[in-house]
Amino acid sequence: MSTWPENRPFAATVSFDFDAEEVWIGENPANAHAPGVLSQGAYGAKVGVPLILEVLAHHEVRATFFVPGKDALRHPESVRSILAAGHEVAHHGHSHTSPTKLTPTEEREELETGLQVLRDLGADVTGYRSPSWEFTPETLDLLQEAGLLYSSNLLDHILPYRHPKHDLIEVPVSWILDDAPHFWFANDTWEKTIRSPREVLDVWLPEIDGIARLGGHVMLTMHPMLSGRPSRLAMLDEVLTHLKQQDAWIATTHEIAEYARASDPIALRRWRGGAA
């Protein structure tokens, strides 16, 4: 028996980390003065987001966009268009800096400032995804103090769950269903080759089907500057078609977290580390 709403066999969330220019500055502060490098991020705002919103609208799917505060300040019109289309906007740092590189005071400031910027643009922010999917010993305390509902950072499950010592839901992520390991290219190292959409679909669709068989939650993590390229928009279209064909409950991260807080799907399924 399904543990998901509407008796759906599994759940899925389409999420985007709208990093824009800030991720490149986070990678290397010298990039702040490198317009060519930064323009890779600007593509996400100028072209990626509008085209992604079209694909989502076509499928009537609502997504979650995790946005760094500084990128929201650079591209307020992008954030407004995301909100106007009915999508969720959530916290992704203020600058795109891993909390592990910040002092406790800086971490608090990043959290508070980023929250304020997004709220000033009209977002009802209830969740946080760290720029590095990494925590400090203080992070969960800070999220709870800020009154947030969920974190989407850890890679330890295929179902959402309650943090044992905090009033927070974790909505886990994975590298396999992230577009960056497959598509990220940086011209300072040339270490990574760019995969084709077909290769990535060969990785993603069996993983989605595997999670579906286990009644789990599919968390897709994409970046407008990567998945907003034309060939990959067609891939996104194919992934969304597949999720609908498999009868996924497609919900925002906020909705998944709310559902997990009310229903605790791991307990419902009596999860035994693999056998559902």
Residues near Zn ion (CB under 5 A) are: 17, 19, 131
In the complex with Zn ion, which residue's Cβ is closer, 127 or 131? Answer: 131
Beta-strand relationship, 11-17 and 64-67 = parallel
In the complex with Zn ion, which residue's Cβ is closer, 20 or 235? Answer: 20
Q: How far is the CB of 199 from Zn ion (least distance, A)?
A: 23
In the complex with Zn ion, which residue's Cβ is closer, 176 or 234? Answer: 176
In the complex with Zn ion, which residue's Cβ is closer, 93 or 215? Answer: 93
In the complex with Zn ion, which residue's Cβ is closer, 45 or 248? Answer: 45
Q: How far is the CB of 17 from Zn ion (least distance, A)?
A: 4
Q: How far is the CB of 184 from Zn ion (least distance, A)?
A: 11
Q: How far is the CB of 109 from Zn ion (least distance, A)?
A: 18
Residue nearest to Zn ion (CB): 17
Q: If you write DSSP's letter for every residue of 201-224 in order, what string do you get?
A: HHHHHHHHHHHHHTT-EEEEEE-H
Q: How far is the CB of 81 from Zn ion (least distance, A)?
A: 19
